Amino acid sequence: SWSSSDSVISTDSTGETLGPGKPLRVLLLGGSDVGKTAFASIFAGAADSMESDDCQIYGDEVCERTIEVDGEEATITLLDTWTTEEDRRCVAEDQCMQTGDAYLLLYSITDRASFLRASELRITLRCHRPARHTPIILVGNKCDLVRCREVSVSEGLACAAVFDCKFIETSAAMQHNVWEAFRGIVRQLRLRRDSKEA
């Protein structure tokens, strides 16, 4: 059992074992200020009226929740382990890249630098995790801020195509498409699971 986020981080995952009741470890990755904390709090239910005991909190960074996707339940453990402190970043990056079953790679559509950062992270991730085993969704957050847009939808789509991952635009502020991103992760993991069983 997990008593601290440290033990979660050190847990190895091959991404290969996906039993029906096994929580999927989903990591939020991205530069600073892109909305990772906002995503995590929506997931944790802090931003809405959902029952808080649906969500088990392990430390500050880990939250577990069962959601229904296409009539089948899935338990997700959300890890928001990213740190932007330079001195810790390399360590955190290595740990992150080895921890998840799937990744939400966030940038802000209002911040081109965060889009470039997402590309860098995708490249680092690819070194640790071959794409075909690991679902990744490129998430263009803050799509409510239309007038401040610096990254177009087509650029996001093109980037996802190059990186062989899915793409979605979200607004954590408006709670738009955030759950759709989590459902997308579950669907991708199921596709991989089903193709392995076939």
Nearer to ligand GDP, 33 or 150 (CB): 33
Nearer to ligand GDP, 74 or 108 (CB): 108
Nearer to ligand GDP, 161 or 174 (CB): 174
User: Taking the alpha carbons of 29, 31, 33, 34 in that order, is the dihedral positive or negative?
Assistant: negative
Which of 145, 166, 179, 183 forms a contact with ligand GDP (CB under 6 A)?
145
Nearer to ligand GDP, 53 or 85 (CB): 85
Regarding 33 and contact with ligand GDP (CB under 6 A), the answer is: yes
We find the least distance from the C-beta atom of residue 37 to ligand GDP, in angstroms, to be 3
Nearer to ligand GDP, 68 or 120 (CB): 120
Residue list 37-56, contact with ligand GDP (CB under 6 A): 37-38
73's enclosing H/E stretch is: strand 72-79
We find the least distance from the C-beta atom of residue 149 to ligand GDP, in angstroms, to be 11
Regarding 35 and contact with ligand GDP (CB under 6 A), the answer is: yes
Regarding 36 and contact with ligand GDP (CB under 6 A), the answer is: yes
Q: Alpha-carbon dihedral of residues 97, 98, 100, 102, nearest 10 degrees?
A: 60
Relative to beta strand 72-79, strand 24-30 is parallel
In angstroms, rounded to a whole number, what is the distance separating the alpha carbons of residues 189 and 102?
8
Which of 46, 173, 179, 187 forms a contact with ligand GDP (CB under 6 A)?
173
> By CB neighbour count within 10 A (0-12 exposed, 13-18 middle, 19+ buried), where does 98 fall?
middle
> By CB neighbour count within 10 A (0-12 exposed, 13-18 middle, 19+ buried), where does 130 fall?
exposed
Residue list 12-31, contact with ligand GDP (CB under 6 A): 30
Relative to beta strand 62-69, strand 72-79 is antiparallel
Helix, strand, coil percentages (3-state) for the chain, rounded to 5, are 45, 25, 35
Regarding 142 and contact with ligand GDP (CB under 6 A), the answer is: yes
Residues that bind ligand GDP (CB under 6 A): 30, 32-38, 141-142, 144-145, 171-173
